[in-house]
Amino acid sequence: MSAANSANTPELMDEDEPFFSNLDILLFSLIAGLLVYWLVFRKKVEPIPEFKKLDAQTTRETSFIDKMKKTGKNIVVFYGSQTGTAEEFSNRLSKDAHRYGMKGMSADPEEYDMSELSRLPEIENSLAIFCMATYGEGDPTDNSQDFYDWLQEGDADFTGVKYTVFSLGNKTYEHYNAMGKYVDKRLAELGAQRIFDLGMGDDDGNLEEDFVSWREQFWPAVCEHFGVEATGEESSIRQYELKVHSDLNMNKIYTGEVGRLKSFENQKPPFDSKNPFLAPVSVNRKLNKAGDRHLMHLELDITGSKIRYESGDHVAVYPINDSVIVNRIGEVLGVDLDTVISLNNLDEESNKKHPFPCPSTYRTALTHYLDITNPPRTNVLYELAQYATEPKEQENMRKMASSSPEGKVRSPALLNILAILEDLPSLRPPIDHLCELLPRLQARYYSIASSSKVHPNSIHICAVVVEYETKTGRVNKGVTTNWLKSKMPTDNGHKATVPMYIRKSQFRLPFKSTNPVIMVGPGTGIAPFMGFVQERGWLKEQGKEVGETVLYYGCRHKNEDFLYQEELEEFEKTGVLTALNVAFSRDQAEKVYVQHLLKKSKEAVWRLVHTDNAHIYICGDARNMARDVQNAFYEIAEELGGLSRAQAVDYIKKLMTKGRYSQDVWS
């Protein structure tokens, strides 16, 4: 009898007939077996992990207007900063506000919803200040890129918004202060009211001086506009309070990490500015054969890091300060540098809880986090002056901190903080206040001297060790290059490492390998072109058609500092380099530079540029070389293109716009 029939037939079963048929038992066993298997052997469903850190970031307050209202602030100072200077100026302006009965906050535009700027008039006597640095070829800094894009695309109404801009740039660059100028102009176009003229800081001159002069005129204008008066409070305002830790677990203390605690012990990709990779140094050799300078070639091993780079990119390196200077600061101030401390922001609402990773020791702070070798800025001198017990020394420091002609004369040109402490015996500031005031030690950038096509697991650096004597007879050493010089690969199990990450660049070989390239890079400006030439050689090996590859290189003496001579001559011999033109500036009575060689081969240069669509690349010194080379191209365009000077300038500008004239320069 089937199960279906039994369900529909109410008659009693025969006693000899089994209660379950064989099929029922089989089905029952199968179901029971599956149930047991599911209960015992099933893979437990993993709960979705809670990313608390991510939650913390996503719930972070993105409304600077709400934050200002909550904390009673009426001035917001936004900064677009690449190396930390604009951020430093922003902090100084926000601290200044209290002297005029106002309250300011410094803000990173990347962390806030900038469309809220239109709501600023909701706050009485409100003002937005922008400290904007220009980076590269007139570009915004990384942290102001989104704000810049939004300003370009947006059509916000900033009626009633009051603002001013201080821009940071360098006159030797083509697009001087482009970002500051753009923000100043664009805010006015969108209806905002400029209450003080655009400030222009020139890093080729004296950026600090430019800022102080602008600031001294800016605040009286603010007072006049809002009808407020200076409170007369000239006393130092502490932004952070000191907490000394006596029994903290060593695993909770920062020892030089930039972001995540113990990130140097437990390395996890992706690697970036907040999470650098500790790259072992595999090669460190001197490049020059003679002379009093030290030019070096380093190779960093990035095996297993998942780091990718392209020819023309930059490698950023986090240096550490000289332990001799660090120890001497501790001695002069009579401090135990191994004291574990935290500097905690007195403004609990601030996104910046500490001036550097805390808790840490004074030794770690002075070694890894603080800039102790550059001359201190005027605000640091001014705030430290109060600790000089000798009235004359205090007066001298205040004068050095002012923008008066006398202050400029007395200014401690090229004196670092240790030299100032040694020269002024009565100046003994509390070390925690000194640590609060000193700027952060910044990463240094180098053009990568290799191609990832040829060296996928290695990044090459070409650099000159900086060392010079000051007017006071002291020897100043470049922090990073002297530190790198000491980084020798070792075979005793302990490898020298360098914290690094990659910064992408627009300095790129042409998309079409058939396009000719003209590279001009004297001295260490050869770096990116070593990568370019390696890559063109690799393309040839792959059977690709490669256009002419022409290099103009310059150094002092052929037998002294002709960098990569053997490699370059080999590239020329094998045809990878179509032409290797080298200017030895001091090997003859009259100095010969790369621009002279360009003009010497002007017909070939003009043919490559005008007829063959060549891409031009310049790398090295911005102050003289890049300008002189550009002038050489103007002259060639005038002479062989039959153009007027104005037309020649316009011709080269058009090449820049098309991405056919690129510069990777520094001053």
Q: Is residue 308 part of a domain?
A: yes
Residues 281 and 346 both lie in one domain: no
pTM value is: 0.85
Residues 348 and 368 both lie in one domain: yes
Q: Report how far residue 560's alpha carbon sits from residue 285's, in angstroms, rounded to the nearest whole number.
A: 15
Q: What is the structure's pLDDT at 236?
A: 66
Residue from 558, 568, 632, 646 nearest 598 by CA: 632
Residues 198 and 94 both lie in one domain: yes
Which of these three, 424, 442, 460, is where a domain ends? Answer: 442
Q: Is 81 annotated as a binding residue?
A: yes
What are the pLDDT digits (tens) for 64-89?
A: 999 999 999 999 999 999 889 999 99
Residue 373 confidence (pLDDT) above 80: yes
* Tokens 């780079």, located at residue: 309
Residues 398 and 426 both lie in one domain: yes
Residue 370 confidence (pLDDT) above 50: yes
**Beta partners for residue 664, in sequence order:** 619
AA identity, residue 132: M
Higher-confidence residue: 58 or 154? 154
Residue 6 confidence (pLDDT) above 80: no
Q: Is 133 annotated as a binding residue?
A: yes
Q: Is 256 annotated as a binding residue?
A: no
What are the pLDDT digits (tens) for 88-144?
A: 999 999 999 988 889 999 999 999 999 999 999 999 999 999 999 998 778 899 999
Q: Which helix (H) or strand (E) holds 431?
A: helix 431-437
Which of these three, 200, 226, 252, is where a domain ends? Answer: 226
SS3 93: helix
Residues 429 and 540 both lie in one domain: no
Residue from 262, 242, 411, 269 nearest 343 by CA: 242
User: Which tokens sit at 129?
Assistant: 């200040």
CATH code of 466's domain: 2.40.30.10
Vertex 256 angle, CA 309 and 259, to 5°: 60
Question: Residues of the chain with pLDDT > 90: what percent?
Answer: 76
Task: Decide if 195 contacts 221 (C-beta within 8 A).
Answer: yes
Task: Decide if 513 contacts 536 (C-beta within 8 A).
Answer: yes
Q: What is the structure's pLDDT at 407?
A: 57
Residue 8 confidence (pLDDT) above 50: no
CATH code of 423's domain: 1.20.990.10
Residues 306 and 452 both lie in one domain: yes
AA identity, residue 497: T
Q: Report how far residue 363's alpha carbon sits from residue 255's, in angstroms, rounded to the nearest whole number.
A: 9
Which of these three, 207, 226, 245, is where a domain ends? Answer: 226
Chain-wide mean pLDDT for the chain?
A: 89
Q: Is 169 annotated as a binding residue?
A: yes
Q: Is residue 396 part of a domain?
A: yes
CATH code of 203's domain: 3.40.50.360
Q: Is residue 206 part of a domain?
A: yes
Catalytic, out of 118, 210, 619, 621: 619
Instruction: Please indicate whether residue 666 is annotated as part of the active site.
Output: yes
For the chain, what is the domain count? 4
Q: Which helix (H) or strand (E) holds 199?
A: strand 199-202
Residue 408 confidence (pLDDT) above 50: yes
Q: Is residue 49 part of a domain?
A: no
Task: Decide if 111 contacts 351 (C-beta within 8 A).
Answer: yes
Average pLDDT over residues 414-423: 89
Q: Report how far residue 111's alpha carbon sits from residue 90's, in angstroms, rounded to the nearest whole number.
A: 15
Residues 460 and 493 both lie in one domain: yes
Q: What is the structure's pLDDT at 32?
A: 67
Q: Report how far residue 435's alpha carbon sits from residue 458's, in angstroms, rounded to the nearest whole number.
A: 36
Instruction: Please indicate whether residue 606 is annotated as part of the active site.
Output: no
Catalytic, out of 126, 342, 447, 452: 447
Q: What is the structure's pLDDT at 590?
A: 93
User: How is 200-253 classified by DSSP, letter by letter?
Assistant: EEETTS-HHHHHHHHHHHHHHHHHHHHT-------S---SEEEEEESS--GGGS
Residues 73 and 179 both lie in one domain: yes
Instruction: Please indicate whether residue 447 is annotated as part of the active site.
Output: yes
Where would I find the beta strands (DSSP E) of 237-382? 240-245, 277-286, 295-301, 314-317, 340-345, 360-361
Higher-confidence residue: 154 or 577? 577
Catalytic, out of 150, 538, 606, 666: 666
Which domain does 403 fall in, by range?
320-442
Q: Is residue 210 part of a domain?
A: yes
Q: What is the structure's pLDDT at 25?
A: 61
Q: Is 333 annotated as a binding residue?
A: no
Q: Report how far residue 457's alpha carbon sits from residue 461's, in angstroms, rounded to the nearest whole number.
A: 14
Q: Is 547 annotated as a binding residue?
A: no
Q: Is 586 annotated as a binding residue?
A: yes
Long-range pairs of 204-210 with CB within 8 A, sequence gap ≥ 24: 204/170, 204/171, 204/172, 204/623, 204/667, 205/171, 207/85, 207/168, 208/377, 208/378, 209/403, 209/408
Q: Is 152 annotated as a binding residue?
A: no
Residue 596 confidence (pLDDT) above 70: yes
Q: Is residue 253 part of a domain?
A: no
What are the two backbone dihedrals, phi and then psi, of residue 124, each rounded to the nearest 5 degrees?
Answer: -65, 140
What are the pLDDT digits (tens) for 237-294?
A: 789 999 999 989 999 999 999 999 999 999 999 999 999 999 999 999 999 999 999 9
Q: Is 581 annotated as a binding residue?
A: no
Q: What is the structure's pLDDT at 55?
A: 36
Task: Decide if 368 contacts 256 (C-beta within 8 A).
Answer: yes
Q: Which helix (H) or strand (E) holds 464?
A: strand 458-464
User: Which tokens sit at 304?
Assistant: 């297993």
Q: What is the structure's pLDDT at 578?
A: 98
Catalytic, out of 210, 301, 561, 664: 664
Residues 206 and 75 both lie in one domain: yes
User: Which tokens sit at 576?
Assistant: 């990878």
Q: Is residue 415 part of a domain?
A: yes
Where would I find the beta strands (DSSP E) of 12-118? 75-80, 104-107
Residue 232 pLDDT class (50, 70, 90 cuts): low
With b for 16 or more beta-carbon neighbours within 10 A and e for fewer, the 399-423 pattern comes to: bbbbbeeebeeebbeebbbbbbbee
Residues 314 and 324 both lie in one domain: no
Instruction: Please indicate whether residue 619 is annotated as part of the active site.
Output: yes
Higher-confidence residue: 399 or 21? 399
Task: Decide if 510 contacts 544 (C-beta within 8 A).
Answer: no
What are the pLDDT digits (tens) for 607-624?
A: 999 999 999 999 999 889
A 10 A CB-CB count for 133 gives 29
Q: Is 249 annotated as a binding residue?
A: no
What are the pLDDT digits (tens) for 475-503?
A: 889 999 999 999 999 866 688 999 999 99
Average pLDDT over residues 642-653: 97
* Tokens 């070829």, located at residue: 137
Q: Is 468 annotated as a binding residue?
A: yes
Q: Is residue 286 part of a domain?
A: yes
Residues 313 and 350 both lie in one domain: no
Task: Decide if 421 contacts 385 (C-beta within 8 A).
Answer: no
What are the pLDDT digits (tens) for 17-33?
A: 454 566 566 666 667 66
Higher-confidence residue: 324 or 228? 324
- The dihedral over CA atoms of 144, 145, 148, 153, expressed in degrees to the nearest 10, equals -150
CATH code of 551's domain: 3.40.50.80
Residues 433 and 476 both lie in one domain: no
